[in-house]
């Protein structure tokens, strides 16, 4: 047993990650906790990291000196081959006493009742997880059981310390069982045999071929490609319950007849669903089996359902079967009426059909803000944190509510009440409104601008109905309907949803449509960018939007850009520079806030003095090399004599010292660089680079620390 030096009391997230890496464990960053139950998964695309330990370069990008996740508390382990065949025995002892009884019975029988000496952690929820190596030739299954014993085998995932649980409790290694104190032991054969017994009793996820989640639930032929497990389970239960209704006294142990039922049900299942694996040499049934969605899984679920024949199945069969109104030629599903011509036709509410001449008579698109925002439309202002998008949208909202003639040179065609939904920065909003008042010379006291400062779940139909009723019955609105509803930010309105899943974001768009249709109003979302600089999340956003405006600005640089990525029925693709200027709010305390407005050509000329992004990156690289060499660049003028004064060194990049000082000040405020102790023995301090320049930055070249 080899102990690894590790100071738990002083260790940060990157220290833990490096420890796990030293143990040859595949540690990856994971999502922060939420109360949705779906956060216990990696924060990166992890399928490519399931089989081999990731390269050091990739690990350094996560947890290295300038790693993206070096300060993120939550991390986890990918089990299986990537971690040297390590698996996790997960015991929900805090919820299910059977889990502890199962393990203790094995220990009493095979190990004199003594716990196995292998790294063991207490989860944030209160359970126990033990790490083991699987011996060569045995593949641990990935299973969940009803007795609270779960196994994370090949391709599984387990959250690791020092991660935070949704309860507010950290995952922590049990004293004396930390991985830097004890080795990860190879699971004894009696334990692996017990795990195999569990796998034979409970439905196993098993080692199967993984496939990516499709954008739609069905393929062009109507076959199910997403949600197949739910369909399998529901189909089996419905078939077994139906058979019980037909012959309730049937003894379930008559295997031959039960097998016939199962084969008929599986045939229906196999014809209705489609494997995601593309292999012309194999049948659909074979491919489903390779995915863990085939006959073996179907058989296990069928046996589980049949085992409940005299209990849950009997109770379900006692409820009369609901008739769905399937249409057949002899049993029409709609009422038939006789027309004036004597012909019988079905009576129903028909969808409208428009001829070409009727289409030509449709009204032209109307703009809430001319050439920018369509009436009764849906669109988004999006950009990275700190770019100024909320200052822009608040100014837009107040201008519409106040009935101004124009906004940023574009005519406002319709004014009226504004509903602004925002649960972040609420206390600062009054200063932003005051800055708008000072900049425009208009009092906002009586304009119909209304804030909802609690988060609204746009994934919940009930909350959207509540929002609509709130607006309809508000005494403040006095019967008026809103011209526009702003959602700032979209992310706050999606608790528990996956922004990259089409089905989740379709629900969000559906909620926006309900609001639009209820009031014939425009819905405007404020959203974030992905790391590539695009609108974050599913392409559903792009497809459903009538207008998309990308906002880009670096912290510390007051000039930014508003780029029209998409405008229906109007010219897009243009870029309009804007500036954020500080405006005094006019109160006794002397508060101030930023105000967004178009930038003048003269202001652009001043900002264009900033060097190009490539030059900025060269400077940062030079700073990094100097730090690593033990001679860091300094901001102190007295270091000029020993050649470390940063503004002086930046002149080699054809940058004047005044501009160099401005750049350094900006980068310090943004968190791109910091002043730190480089050499403790000589007490040499200097500039240390903390971050990167990203491709989605504007032409002004400064770093966006967010």
Please tell me the predicted confidence (pLDDT) of residue 522: 96
Residues 626 and 599 in one domain: no
Please tell me the predicted confidence (pLDDT) of residue 296: 79
Choice between 283 and 402, residue whose per-residue pLDDT is larger: 402
Residues 130 and 31 in one domain: yes
Please determine, for residue 142, whether its predicted confidence score (pLDDT) is greater than 90.
no
Residues 587 and 677 in one domain: no
What φ, ψ does residue 576 adopt, rounded to 5°? -120, 115
Q: Containing H/E element for 633?
A: none
Residues 465 and 577 in one domain: yes
Choice between 175 and 145, residue whose per-residue pLDDT is larger: 175
Contacts 24+ apart (CB under 8 A), 635-643: 635/664, 635/675, 635/687
Per the structure, the count of domains in the chain is 4
Please determine, for residue 204, whether its predicted confidence score (pLDDT) is greater than 50.
no
**Both tokens of residue 533?**
């600089």
Looking from the CA of 646 toward its CB, the CA atoms found within 13 Å total: 30
Please determine, for residue 665, whether its predicted confidence score (pLDDT) is greater than 70.
yes
Q: Model confidence over 227-282: pLDDT tens digits?
A: 788 788 888 888 888 888 777 555 544 555 677 788 888 888 888 888 888 766 66
Neighbours of 267 (CB within 10 A): 11
Between the CA of residue 546 and those of 359, 367, 543, what are the distances in Å?
Answer: 20, 11, 8
**Both tokens of residue 116?**
């196995």
Please determine, for residue 356, whether its predicted confidence score (pLDDT) is greater than 90.
no
* Pairing verdict, β 575-584 and 559-567: antiparallel
Residues 124 and 181 in one domain: yes
Residue 360 lies in a domain: no
Domain that holds residue 494: 368-606
Q: Model confidence over 43-58: pLDDT tens digits?
A: 887 777 888 899 999 9
Contact call for residues 525 and 536 (beta carbons, < 8 A): no
CA-CA-CA-CA dihedral for 367, 373, 375, 376, to nearest 10 = 160
Q: What is the 3-state secondary structure (H, E, C) of 87-152?
A: EEEEECCCCCHHHHHHHHHHHHHHCCCCCCCCCEEECCCCCEEEEEECCCCCCCCCECCCCCEEEE
Residues 596 and 682 in one domain: no
Residues 566 and 473 in one domain: yes
Residues 583 and 628 in one domain: no
Q: Which of 347-356, 550-559, 682-691 has the highest mean pLDDT?
A: 682-691
**Both tokens of residue 367?**
């703009």
Residue 344 lies in a domain: no
> In sequence order, which residues have a C-beta less than 8 Å from that of residue 482 and are 6 or more positions away?
416, 417, 418, 419, 471, 519, 521
Residues 580 and 637 in one domain: no
The whole-model pTM stands at 0.45
Residues 188 and 260 in one domain: no
Please tell me the predicted confidence (pLDDT) of residue 209: 57
């Amino acid at each position: 047993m080899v102990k690894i030096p590790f100071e738990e009391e002083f260790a940060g997230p990157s220290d833990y990650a490096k420890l796990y890496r030293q143990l040859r464990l595949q540690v990856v960053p994971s999502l922060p906790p939420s109360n949705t139950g779906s956060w216990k998964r990696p924060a990166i695309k992890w399928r490519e990291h399931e089989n081999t330990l990731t390269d050091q370069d990739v690990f350094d990008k996560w947890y290295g000196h300038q790693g993206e996740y070096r300060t993120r508390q939550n991390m986890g382990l990918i089990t299986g081959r990537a971690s040297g065949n390590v698996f996790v025995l997960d015991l929900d002892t805090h919820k299910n006493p059977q889990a502890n009884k199962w393990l203790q019975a094995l220990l009493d029988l095979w190990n004199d009742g003594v716990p196995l000496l292998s790294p063991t952690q207490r989860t944030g929820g209160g359970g126990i997880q033990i790490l083991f190596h699987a011996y060569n030739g045995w593949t641990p299954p990935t299973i969940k059981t009803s007795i609270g014993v779960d196994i994370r085998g090949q391709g599984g995932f387990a959250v690791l310390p020092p991660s935070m649980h949704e309860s507010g409790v950290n995952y922590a290694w049990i004293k004396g069982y930390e991985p830097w104190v004890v080795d990860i032991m190879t699971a004894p054969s009696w334990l692996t045999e017990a795990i195999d017994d569990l796998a034979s009793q409970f439905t196993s996820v098993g080692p199967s071929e993984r496939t990516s989640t499709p954008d739609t639930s069905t393929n062009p032929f109507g076959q199910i490609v997403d949600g197949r497990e739910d369909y399998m389970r529901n189909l089996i239960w419905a078939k077994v319950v139906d058979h019980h209704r037909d012959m309730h006294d049937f003894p379930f142990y008559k295997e031959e007849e039960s097998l016939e039922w199962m084969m008929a049900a599986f045939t229906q299942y196999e014809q209705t669903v489609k494997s995601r694996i593309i292999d012309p040499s194999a049948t659909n049934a074979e491919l489903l089996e390779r995915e863990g969605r085939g006959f073996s899984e179907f058989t296990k679920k069928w046996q589980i359902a049949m085992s409940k024949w005299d209990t849950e199945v009997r109770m379900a069969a006692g409820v009369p079967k609901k008739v769905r109104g399937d249409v057949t030629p002899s049993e029409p599903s709609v009422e038939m009426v006789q027309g004036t011509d004597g012909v019988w036709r079905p009576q129903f509410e028909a969808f409208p059909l428009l001829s070409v001449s009727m289409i030509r008579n449709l009204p032209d698109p109307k703009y809430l803000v001319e050439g920018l925002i369509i009436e009764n439309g849906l669109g988004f202002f999006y950009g990275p944190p700190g770019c100024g998008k909320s200052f822009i949208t608040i100014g837009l909202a107040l201008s519409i509510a106040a009935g101004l003639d124009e906004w940023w040179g574009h005519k406002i065609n319709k004014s009226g009440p504004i509903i602004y939904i925002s649960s972040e920065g609420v206390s600062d909003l009054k200063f932003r409104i005051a800055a708008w008042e000072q900049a425009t010379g208009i009092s906002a006291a009586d304009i119909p601008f209304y804030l909802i400062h609690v988060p609204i779940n746009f994934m919940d139909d009930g909350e959207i109905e509540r929002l609509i009723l709130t607006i309809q019955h508000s005494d403040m609105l006095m019967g008026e309907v809103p011209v526009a509803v702003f959602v700032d930010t979209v992310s706050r309105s999606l608790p528990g949803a996956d922004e990259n899943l089409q089905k989740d974001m379709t629900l969000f768009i559906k909620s926006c449509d309900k609001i639009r249709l209820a009031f014939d109003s425009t819905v405007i979302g404020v959203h974030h960018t992905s790391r590539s600089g695009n609108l974050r999340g599913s392409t559903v956003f792009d497809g459903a939007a009538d207008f998309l405006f990308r906002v880009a600005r670096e912290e510390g640089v007051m000039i930014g850009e508003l780029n029209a990525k998409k405008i229906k029925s109007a010219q897009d693709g243009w870029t309009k520079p804007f500036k954020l200027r500080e405006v005094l709010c006019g109160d006794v305390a002397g508060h101030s806030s930023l105000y967004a407005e178009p930038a003048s050509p003269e202001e652009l000329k001043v900002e264009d003095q900033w060097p190009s992004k490539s030059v900025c990156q060269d400077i940062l690289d030079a700073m990094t090399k100097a730090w690593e060499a033990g001679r860091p660049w300094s901001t102190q003028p007295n270091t000029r004599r020993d050649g470390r004064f940063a503004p002086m060194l930046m002149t080699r990049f054809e940058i004047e010292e005044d501009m160099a000082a401005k750049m350094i000040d900006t980068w310090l405020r943004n968190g791109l660089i910091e002043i730190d102790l480089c050499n403790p023995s000589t007490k040499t301090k200097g500039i240390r680079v903390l971050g990167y320049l990203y491709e989605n930055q504007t032409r002004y070249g400064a770093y966006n620390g967010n």
